[in-house]
Amino acid sequence: MEVRLKILYTSLCHTDVYFWEAKGQTPVFPRILGHEAAGIVESVGEGVTELAPGDHVLPVFTGECKECAHCKSEESNMCELLRINPDRKVMINDGQARFSINGQPIYHFLGTSTFSEYTVVHSGCVAKINPEAPLDKVCVLSCGFCTGFGATVNVAKPKKGSTVAIFGLGAVGLAAAEGARVAGASRIIGVDLNSNRFETAKKFGCTEFVNPLEHSKPVQEVLAEMTNGGVDRAVECTGNINAMIQALESVHDGWGVAVLVGVPHKDAEFKTHPIHFLNEKTLKGTFYGHYKPRTDLPVVVEQYLKGELELEKFITHSVPFSEINKAFELMLAGQGLRCIIHMDG
Protein backbone atom coordinates (compact mmCIF):
# COMPACT_ATOMS: atom_id res chain seq x y z
CA MET A 1 0.00 0.00 0.00
CA GLU A 2 2.93 2.35 -0.61
CA VAL A 3 3.83 4.63 -3.51
CA ARG A 4 7.09 6.22 -4.48
CA LEU A 5 6.69 9.84 -5.51
CA LYS A 6 8.94 12.15 -7.45
CA ILE A 7 8.55 15.47 -5.67
CA LEU A 8 8.63 18.41 -8.07
CA TYR A 9 7.69 21.26 -5.74
CA THR A 10 7.63 21.54 -1.99
CA SER A 11 7.08 24.54 0.23
CA LEU A 12 8.18 25.39 3.72
CA CYS A 13 5.54 25.36 6.45
CA HIS A 14 6.14 26.63 9.98
CA THR A 15 5.58 23.09 11.25
CA ASP A 16 8.78 22.04 9.49
CA VAL A 17 10.68 24.81 11.28
CA TYR A 18 9.06 23.85 14.59
CA PHE A 19 10.35 20.29 14.36
CA TRP A 20 13.69 21.32 12.87
CA GLU A 21 14.19 23.44 15.99
CA ALA A 22 13.35 20.31 18.05
CA LYS A 23 10.33 21.99 19.64
CA GLY A 24 8.03 19.16 18.58
CA GLN A 25 6.81 16.39 20.85
CA THR A 26 9.79 14.05 20.51
CA PRO A 27 12.84 15.25 18.59
CA VAL A 28 13.87 12.64 16.03
CA PHE A 29 17.06 12.93 13.99
CA PRO A 30 18.24 12.31 11.37
CA ARG A 31 14.97 12.74 9.51
CA ILE A 32 13.85 14.28 6.23
CA LEU A 33 11.42 17.11 6.89
CA GLY A 34 8.86 18.59 4.50
CA HIS A 35 5.15 17.88 4.11
CA GLU A 36 3.57 20.53 1.84
CA ALA A 37 4.29 19.41 -1.69
CA ALA A 38 3.23 18.18 -5.12
CA GLY A 39 4.66 15.57 -7.42
CA ILE A 40 4.15 12.62 -9.72
CA VAL A 41 3.75 8.94 -8.91
CA GLU A 42 6.96 7.15 -9.92
CA SER A 43 6.00 3.60 -8.94
CA VAL A 44 3.40 1.77 -6.83
CA GLY A 45 3.67 -1.08 -4.39
CA GLU A 46 1.58 -4.16 -3.74
CA GLY A 47 -2.12 -3.54 -3.16
CA VAL A 48 -2.23 -0.05 -4.67
CA THR A 49 -5.08 0.13 -7.18
CA GLU A 50 -6.18 3.78 -7.29
CA LEU A 51 -2.81 5.24 -8.29
CA ALA A 52 -0.51 4.57 -11.22
CA PRO A 53 2.86 5.86 -12.44
CA GLY A 54 2.47 9.29 -14.01
CA ASP A 55 -0.45 10.43 -11.82
CA HIS A 56 -0.20 13.99 -10.55
CA VAL A 57 -0.65 13.98 -6.79
CA LEU A 58 -0.51 15.87 -3.52
CA PRO A 59 1.02 13.98 -0.56
CA VAL A 60 -0.76 14.88 2.67
CA PHE A 61 0.42 14.66 6.28
CA THR A 62 -2.83 12.98 7.27
CA GLY A 63 -4.61 10.23 5.41
CA GLU A 64 -7.88 8.63 4.44
CA CYS A 65 -8.02 4.83 4.48
CA LYS A 66 -11.73 4.92 3.50
CA GLU A 67 -12.38 1.88 5.71
CA CYS A 68 -12.41 3.04 9.34
CA ALA A 69 -15.32 4.58 11.25
CA HIS A 70 -13.89 8.08 10.86
CA CYS A 71 -13.47 7.78 7.10
CA LYS A 72 -17.00 6.41 6.71
CA SER A 73 -18.44 9.25 8.78
CA GLU A 74 -19.35 12.57 7.18
CA GLU A 75 -18.58 14.21 10.50
CA SER A 76 -14.88 13.35 10.73
CA ASN A 77 -11.67 13.40 8.72
CA MET A 78 -9.50 11.87 11.44
CA CYS A 79 -8.63 8.50 9.92
CA GLU A 80 -7.84 5.90 12.58
CA LEU A 81 -5.01 4.37 10.55
CA LEU A 82 -3.42 7.39 8.90
CA ARG A 83 -4.17 10.47 10.99
CA ILE A 84 -1.20 12.74 11.68
CA ASN A 85 1.40 11.28 14.02
CA PRO A 86 4.45 13.53 14.55
CA ASP A 87 6.21 10.80 16.52
CA ARG A 88 5.94 8.14 13.81
CA LYS A 89 9.26 7.95 12.02
CA VAL A 90 8.87 4.78 9.95
CA MET A 91 6.38 3.19 7.55
CA ILE A 92 3.27 1.54 8.97
CA ASN A 93 3.61 -1.67 6.99
CA ASP A 94 6.86 -2.99 8.44
CA GLY A 95 8.11 -0.41 10.93
CA GLN A 96 11.12 0.40 8.76
CA ALA A 97 12.38 3.59 7.14
CA ARG A 98 12.57 3.86 3.36
CA PHE A 99 15.56 6.20 3.51
CA SER A 100 19.10 5.29 4.53
CA ILE A 101 22.71 6.36 4.24
CA ASN A 102 25.65 3.99 4.69
CA GLY A 103 23.25 1.36 5.97
CA GLN A 104 21.81 3.59 8.69
CA PRO A 105 18.15 4.69 8.62
CA ILE A 106 17.07 8.25 7.94
CA TYR A 107 13.64 8.74 9.46
CA HIS A 108 10.36 9.93 7.95
CA PHE A 109 8.41 13.05 8.94
CA LEU A 110 4.60 13.22 9.06
CA GLY A 111 4.50 10.29 6.65
CA THR A 112 5.62 12.47 3.75
CA SER A 113 9.26 13.72 3.96
CA THR A 114 9.01 15.92 0.90
CA PHE A 115 12.44 17.60 1.20
CA SER A 116 13.69 14.79 -1.01
CA GLU A 117 13.60 14.31 -4.77
CA TYR A 118 11.96 10.93 -4.17
CA THR A 119 9.91 9.87 -1.17
CA VAL A 120 7.76 6.90 -0.18
CA VAL A 121 4.27 7.55 1.18
CA HIS A 122 1.35 5.35 2.21
CA SER A 123 -1.13 5.43 -0.67
CA GLY A 124 -3.89 6.56 1.71
CA CYS A 125 -1.98 9.84 2.18
CA VAL A 126 -1.85 10.64 -1.54
CA ALA A 127 -4.55 12.64 -3.34
CA LYS A 128 -4.75 12.18 -7.11
CA ILE A 129 -5.52 15.49 -8.82
CA ASN A 130 -6.25 16.93 -12.26
CA PRO A 131 -2.98 16.85 -14.28
CA GLU A 132 -3.83 20.28 -15.71
CA ALA A 133 -3.32 21.91 -12.31
CA PRO A 134 0.04 23.73 -11.95
CA LEU A 135 1.89 21.78 -9.30
CA ASP A 136 3.95 24.78 -8.23
CA LYS A 137 0.70 26.48 -7.13
CA VAL A 138 -1.54 23.69 -5.83
CA CYS A 139 1.22 22.29 -3.60
CA VAL A 140 0.13 24.79 -0.94
CA LEU A 141 -3.22 22.97 -0.72
CA SER A 142 -1.60 19.95 0.92
CA CYS A 143 -1.31 21.78 4.24
CA GLY A 144 -1.55 25.49 5.01
CA PHE A 145 -4.26 26.78 2.70
CA CYS A 146 -6.76 23.99 3.36
CA THR A 147 -6.17 24.13 7.11
CA GLY A 148 -7.15 27.80 7.35
CA PHE A 149 -9.65 28.09 4.51
CA GLY A 150 -11.50 24.94 5.57
CA ALA A 151 -11.61 26.04 9.21
CA THR A 152 -13.74 28.96 8.09
CA VAL A 153 -15.89 27.58 5.27
CA ASN A 154 -16.31 24.00 6.56
CA VAL A 155 -16.38 24.52 10.34
CA ALA A 156 -17.10 28.12 11.34
CA LYS A 157 -19.50 28.50 8.37
CA PRO A 158 -20.08 32.24 8.59
CA LYS A 159 -23.28 33.47 7.00
CA LYS A 160 -23.27 36.13 4.32
CA GLY A 161 -23.01 39.56 5.89
CA SER A 162 -21.62 38.26 9.20
CA THR A 163 -18.64 39.51 11.21
CA VAL A 164 -15.56 37.30 11.56
CA ALA A 165 -12.43 37.75 13.68
CA ILE A 166 -9.21 36.02 12.62
CA PHE A 167 -6.64 35.57 15.38
CA GLY A 168 -3.17 35.33 13.85
CA LEU A 169 -2.36 36.59 10.37
CA GLY A 170 0.26 34.13 9.24
CA ALA A 171 -0.33 31.98 6.17
CA VAL A 172 -2.99 29.82 7.86
CA GLY A 173 -4.77 32.84 9.33
CA LEU A 174 -4.80 34.58 5.96
CA ALA A 175 -6.28 31.44 4.40
CA ALA A 176 -8.97 31.59 7.09
CA ALA A 177 -9.60 35.23 6.20
CA GLU A 178 -9.83 34.25 2.55
CA GLY A 179 -12.49 31.73 3.55
CA ALA A 180 -14.46 34.45 5.31
CA ARG A 181 -14.17 36.65 2.23
CA VAL A 182 -15.41 33.90 -0.08
CA ALA A 183 -18.29 33.17 2.34
CA GLY A 184 -19.43 36.78 2.05
CA ALA A 185 -18.59 38.11 5.52
CA SER A 186 -19.20 41.87 5.72
CA ARG A 187 -16.50 42.56 8.31
CA ILE A 188 -13.31 40.55 8.72
CA ILE A 189 -11.27 41.73 11.69
CA GLY A 190 -7.64 40.65 11.80
CA VAL A 191 -6.08 40.28 15.26
CA ASP A 192 -2.29 40.08 15.50
CA LEU A 193 0.52 41.33 17.71
CA ASN A 194 2.48 42.36 14.61
CA SER A 195 0.94 45.39 12.92
CA ASN A 196 3.30 44.94 9.96
CA ARG A 197 1.02 42.12 8.82
CA PHE A 198 -2.05 44.29 8.45
CA GLU A 199 -1.38 45.72 5.01
CA THR A 200 -0.84 42.28 3.46
CA ALA A 201 -3.96 40.97 5.18
CA LYS A 202 -6.11 43.45 3.26
CA LYS A 203 -5.42 41.39 0.11
CA PHE A 204 -7.11 38.43 1.81
CA GLY A 205 -10.28 40.22 2.80
CA CYS A 206 -9.49 41.73 6.19
CA THR A 207 -11.36 45.01 6.60
CA GLU A 208 -10.27 46.05 10.11
CA PHE A 209 -7.46 45.25 12.50
CA VAL A 210 -6.74 45.00 16.20
CA ASN A 211 -3.29 44.80 17.79
CA PRO A 212 -3.89 43.72 21.41
CA LEU A 213 -0.66 45.45 22.45
CA GLU A 214 -2.19 48.81 21.51
CA HIS A 215 -5.16 48.47 23.90
CA SER A 216 -5.40 48.71 27.68
CA LYS A 217 -8.37 46.34 27.88
CA PRO A 218 -8.61 42.65 26.86
CA VAL A 219 -8.97 42.14 23.11
CA GLN A 220 -12.28 40.31 23.57
CA GLU A 221 -13.70 43.50 25.12
CA VAL A 222 -12.32 45.57 22.25
CA LEU A 223 -13.99 43.28 19.73
CA ALA A 224 -17.27 43.31 21.66
CA GLU A 225 -17.32 47.12 21.55
CA MET A 226 -16.51 47.14 17.82
CA THR A 227 -19.30 44.71 16.96
CA ASN A 228 -22.13 45.48 19.35
CA GLY A 229 -21.65 42.48 21.61
CA GLY A 230 -19.20 40.24 19.81
CA VAL A 231 -18.32 38.78 16.43
CA ASP A 232 -20.46 36.10 14.82
CA ARG A 233 -17.45 33.84 14.20
CA ALA A 234 -13.85 33.74 15.43
CA VAL A 235 -11.10 31.57 13.97
CA GLU A 236 -7.91 31.16 16.01
CA CYS A 237 -4.73 30.38 14.03
CA THR A 238 -1.92 31.04 16.51
CA GLY A 239 -1.54 28.04 18.80
CA ASN A 240 -1.34 30.50 21.71
CA ILE A 241 -3.63 29.40 24.54
CA ASN A 242 -4.50 32.99 25.48
CA ALA A 243 -5.61 33.71 21.92
CA MET A 244 -7.76 30.57 22.02
CA ILE A 245 -9.52 31.79 25.16
CA GLN A 246 -9.90 35.28 23.69
CA ALA A 247 -11.43 33.84 20.52
CA LEU A 248 -14.18 32.07 22.46
CA GLU A 249 -14.86 35.04 24.71
CA SER A 250 -15.02 37.43 21.75
CA VAL A 251 -17.96 35.78 19.98
CA HIS A 252 -21.55 36.96 20.41
CA ASP A 253 -23.79 35.15 22.86
CA GLY A 254 -26.69 33.19 21.42
CA TRP A 255 -25.05 32.21 18.14
CA GLY A 256 -21.32 32.93 18.22
CA VAL A 257 -18.93 30.16 17.16
CA ALA A 258 -15.19 30.06 17.84
CA VAL A 259 -12.98 27.60 15.97
CA LEU A 260 -9.52 26.57 17.18
CA VAL A 261 -6.95 25.79 14.49
CA GLY A 262 -3.56 26.40 16.10
CA VAL A 263 -1.71 23.62 17.92
CA PRO A 264 -1.09 24.58 21.57
CA HIS A 265 1.87 23.71 23.76
CA LYS A 266 1.46 20.16 25.09
CA ASP A 267 1.10 21.44 28.67
CA ALA A 268 -1.37 24.23 27.90
CA GLU A 269 -4.79 24.25 29.57
CA PHE A 270 -7.92 26.00 28.36
CA LYS A 271 -9.59 27.95 31.15
CA THR A 272 -12.73 30.04 30.82
CA HIS A 273 -15.93 30.58 32.74
CA PRO A 274 -18.73 28.08 31.92
CA ILE A 275 -21.18 30.97 31.59
CA HIS A 276 -19.89 31.45 28.04
CA PHE A 277 -21.33 28.07 27.10
CA LEU A 278 -24.52 28.59 29.07
CA ASN A 279 -24.94 31.79 27.06
CA GLU A 280 -24.90 29.60 23.95
CA LYS A 281 -21.48 30.36 22.61
CA THR A 282 -19.96 27.39 20.77
CA LEU A 283 -16.32 26.25 20.81
CA LYS A 284 -15.08 23.93 18.06
CA GLY A 285 -11.78 22.46 17.05
CA THR A 286 -10.75 21.49 13.55
CA PHE A 287 -8.07 19.43 11.90
CA TYR A 288 -6.87 20.13 8.35
CA GLY A 289 -9.94 22.29 7.74
CA HIS A 290 -12.22 19.24 8.00
CA TYR A 291 -11.10 18.08 4.55
CA LYS A 292 -10.82 14.38 3.77
CA PRO A 293 -7.58 14.34 1.73
CA ARG A 294 -8.32 11.81 -1.01
CA THR A 295 -12.01 12.68 -1.36
CA ASP A 296 -11.95 16.46 -1.01
CA LEU A 297 -8.58 17.67 -2.31
CA PRO A 298 -9.33 16.86 -5.96
CA VAL A 299 -12.48 19.00 -5.61
CA VAL A 300 -10.53 21.90 -4.09
CA VAL A 301 -8.06 21.71 -6.99
CA GLU A 302 -11.00 21.98 -9.42
CA GLN A 303 -12.23 25.06 -7.54
CA TYR A 304 -8.82 26.62 -8.13
CA LEU A 305 -8.85 25.72 -11.82
CA LYS A 306 -12.27 27.37 -12.16
CA GLY A 307 -10.91 30.58 -10.68
CA GLU A 308 -12.88 30.25 -7.44
CA LEU A 309 -9.74 30.20 -5.27
CA GLU A 310 -6.71 32.49 -5.42
CA LEU A 311 -3.55 30.61 -4.48
CA GLU A 312 -0.95 32.81 -6.15
CA LYS A 313 -1.16 35.54 -3.52
CA PHE A 314 -0.02 33.07 -0.85
CA ILE A 315 3.20 32.39 -2.76
CA THR A 316 5.69 35.17 -2.05
CA HIS A 317 9.06 33.53 -2.75
CA SER A 318 10.60 30.80 -4.88
CA VAL A 319 14.02 29.15 -4.58
CA PRO A 320 15.79 26.14 -6.07
CA PHE A 321 16.30 23.16 -3.75
CA SER A 322 20.00 24.02 -3.48
CA GLU A 323 18.93 27.20 -1.65
CA ILE A 324 16.44 25.61 0.75
CA ASN A 325 18.20 27.27 3.68
CA LYS A 326 17.10 30.62 2.25
CA ALA A 327 13.48 29.49 2.68
CA PHE A 328 14.20 28.81 6.35
CA GLU A 329 15.86 32.22 6.73
CA LEU A 330 12.84 33.96 5.21
CA MET A 331 10.43 32.21 7.55
CA LEU A 332 12.57 32.81 10.63
CA ALA A 333 12.70 36.50 9.70
CA GLY A 334 8.92 36.58 9.29
CA GLN A 335 9.21 37.54 5.63
CA GLY A 336 6.62 36.38 3.14
CA LEU A 337 4.00 33.65 3.37
CA ARG A 338 4.98 30.63 1.32
CA CYS A 339 8.31 29.92 -0.34
CA ILE A 340 8.09 27.34 -3.13
CA ILE A 341 11.14 25.10 -3.42
CA HIS A 342 11.84 23.76 -6.91
CA MET A 343 13.31 20.30 -6.57
CA ASP A 344 15.05 20.43 -9.96
CA GLY A 345 17.28 23.34 -8.94
Supply the residues annotated as catalytic.
13-15, 35-36, 65, 68, 71, 79, 83, 143, 338
Evaluate whether 247 touches 236 at the Cβ level (below 8 Å): yes
Pairing of strands 118-122, 56-59: unpaired
Residue 189's DSSP bridge partners are 165, 208
Q: Which residues pair with 38 in a beta bridge?
A: 9
Prior bond to 30 cis, omega within 30?
A: yes
Counting other chains too, the contacts that 23-28 makes at CB distance below 8 Å and 24 or more residues apart are 24/86, 25/86, 25/87, 25/266, 26/86, 26/87, 28/87, 28/89, 28/107, 28/109
Rounded distance between C-alpha atoms, residue 175 and residue 314, angstroms: 8
Long-range contacts of 278-284 (CB under 8 A, 24+ apart): 279/253, 279/254, 280/253, 280/254, 280/255, 281/248, 281/251, 281/252, 281/253, 281/256, 281/257, 282/251, 282/256, 282/257, 282/258, 283/248, 283/257, 283/258, 284/155, 284/156, 284/257, 284/258, 284/259, 284/260
